[in-house]
Amino acid sequence: MTYHSHLDPGMAARFGDALLASLAPDGGLWMPDVIPHIPASRMATLGAMSFADCAAELAAHFTDSLFDPDALRALCRDAYSYDMPMVTSAGERLDPAMPPQSDHFFLELFHGPTLAFKDFAARFMGRAASRLMQASGERRTILVATSGDTGGAIGDAFLGQDGVDVFILFPEGGVSTVQEQQLCTIGGANSNVHTLSVTGTFDDCQALVKGAFADPALSARFDLMSANSINVGRVIPQSFYYVWASLHAKAAYPERDLVISIPSGNLGNLTGGLIAQQMGAPIDRFIVAHNVNDPFVDYLVVGEYRPRPSVPTLSNAMDIGRPNNFPRILSLFDQNLEVLRRVCWGVSFDDDTTAAHLRRHYRETGYLMCPHTTVGHMGTLAFRHLHPDDATFLTVATAHPAKFADSLEKIIDETLSMPERLARAYQTEKRVTPIEPTLDALVGHLASVLE
Ligand SMILES: *Cc1c(COP(=O)(O)O)cnc(C)c1O
């Protein structure tokens, strides 16, 4: 598979180079030249495999001959050593061998080490990148802007790996208390993971990272690599779970359409879903659910794209006013808005509505959603209201509710118990350096640590 810049189809790279270079030399986003189409008969065998083995088969289509099949399988089995259940609000699991229990399931993608779906991509990317660097002897300095969950997942995936330093930039006061504690306690005193709190918004963090990449001299000086979803190595693995989950949902309810609701911010998760669909995964529609930071919804509805400054909300990991995968989505649809509209239905919700729905759903069913998942669930209900035909719905559950204990405890008026991993983060002393949202401040800090 070769990749090309979304700005210039003539600018090409192999997977390894696209991964380590993050952005094309013209500043464009790398895109696979073609989305491999997997025939239905082959899809059926993928659905019968474990998720890790299915991921390895899919990855082989995107990674050239860089890894042999055994190496890919070992990599995926090591990365995906955790569960990915589809459950109802009553906690019943989707089981193709059982009679249908419900038409709505949460696809829980938060059972990895940092308790958010970002682990799926980070753990694949981390392992793939470190193999490449071991082989070539290169070093990389990874910059990652985080609205809460990416930084933890990337830090965890690269912690202790030779040849890599990771710098995590998060907006001061813009992440939940638990996320902040997690971000600032990833490594010990001499670890290769460094956390910076930026006095600004997530968009400022993202702009700093983009600014550093846009400067070839800086990129070369520090061997910069991005672990944000501008990196195609983050987006590709996010298609794997959509393939696997859709095959299972379809096996349980073969005659029903499958509709998947994705709580969205930077649109990386949606891009993964769209790639899965184009590979032939049996997905009929996506509900793209946003908080009030919703320029993509405006685009779907009005046809005009107007990125704008983000505003803080309860679902802070989606507080993004300039989603950086927007150009990838246009490119997957050849800029055709009509076709995009047939596949993606957009909707957004404000915080009051989100808090009220989260509380009501918890009281009625006992199933506690994180604020992002709540936005996705409301998207499912709104869509179903408009399209009452038979379908199976999957709401993607993007994070464990305990990561948002500070806001959730106020909403449901109860104290939450912390999973073991988060409890441990609370017993560790924070290590964090505050910086101003300027390129000079970032460069000064990188130089003081690395040079
Ligand atoms: C990152 C994140 C999202 C948004 O995903 P995108 O790929 O940026 O659209 C939603 N929910 C949670 C919990 C997240 O961490």
Domains, in order of start, for the chain? 1-34 (no CATH), 42-81 (no CATH), 84-111+236-412 (3.40.50.1100), 118-228+417-451 (3.40.50.1100)
Q: What is the pLDDT of residue 66?
A: 84
Look at residue 388 in the predicted model and tell me its pLDDT: 85
Distance between CA atoms of residues 10 and 25, nearest Å? 12
User: For residues 222, 145, 302 and 285, what is the CA-based torsion angle, rounded to 10 degrees?
Assistant: 100
The answer to whether the CB of 116 is under 6 A from ligand 1 is yes
- 317 in contact with ligand 1, CB cutoff 6 A: yes
pLDDT for 98 equals 76
Residue of minimum CA distance from atom 2 in ligand 1:
317
264 Cα: distance to centroid of ligand 1 (angstroms)? 6
For residue 70, the model assigns a pLDDT of 96
Ranges assigned E (strand) in 18-70: 30-32
- The CB of 294 under 6 Å from ligand 1? The reply is no
Give the rounded percent of residues in the chain with a pLDDT score beyond 70.
100
User: By mean pLDDT, which of 90-99, 227-236, 295-304 is the weakest?
Assistant: 90-99
pTM for this prediction:
0.95
Provide the pLDDT confidence category of residue 235 given band limits of 50, 70 and 90: very high
Task: Say how many residues make up the chain.
Answer: 451
Pocket test for ligand 1, best of 318, 329, 373 (most atoms within 8 A of CB): 318
Show Cβ contacts of residue 21 under 8 Å, excluding neighbours closer than 6 positions: 13, 30, 225
| Ligand 1 geometric centre to CA of 372 (Å) | 8
Q: Is 197 helix (H, G, I), strand (E, B) or coil?
A: strand
Ligand 1 atom with minimal separation from the 267 CA: 9
Q: How does DSSP classify residue 330?
A: H
| ∠ CA 196-201-207, rounded to 5° | 80
DSSP letter at 160 equals T
Instruction: Give me the amino acid identity at 426.
Output: Y
pLDDT category at 249 given cuts 50, 70, 90 is very high
Taking the CA of residue 128 as centre, how many other CA atoms within 13 Å lie in the half-sphere pointing to its CB? 32
- Per-residue pLDDT band for 421 (boundaries 50, 70, 90) equals confident
In the predicted model, what is the mean pLDDT of residues 33-60?
96
More confident residue, 80 or 228: 80
Please check the confidence at residue 217 and state whether its pLDDT lies above 80: yes
Taking the alpha carbons of 140, 146, 151, 154 in that order, is the dihedral positive or negative? negative
Torsion of CA 37, 41, 47, 48, to 10 degrees: -150
Q: How confident is the model at residue 305 (pLDDT cuts 50, 70, 90)?
A: very high
Q: How far is the CA of 399 from the centre of ligand 1 (A)?
A: 8
| pLDDT band, very low/low/confident/very high, at 186 (cuts 50, 70, 90) | very high
* Alpha carbon of 221 to ligand 1 centroid (Å): 31
Least confident residue range of 185-189, 323-327, 331-335, 436-440: 185-189
CA of residue 321 to ligand 1 center, whole Å: 13
Digit-coded pLDDT (tens) for 391-403: 999 999 999 999 9
Question: Residue 205: its pLDDT value, please?
Answer: 94
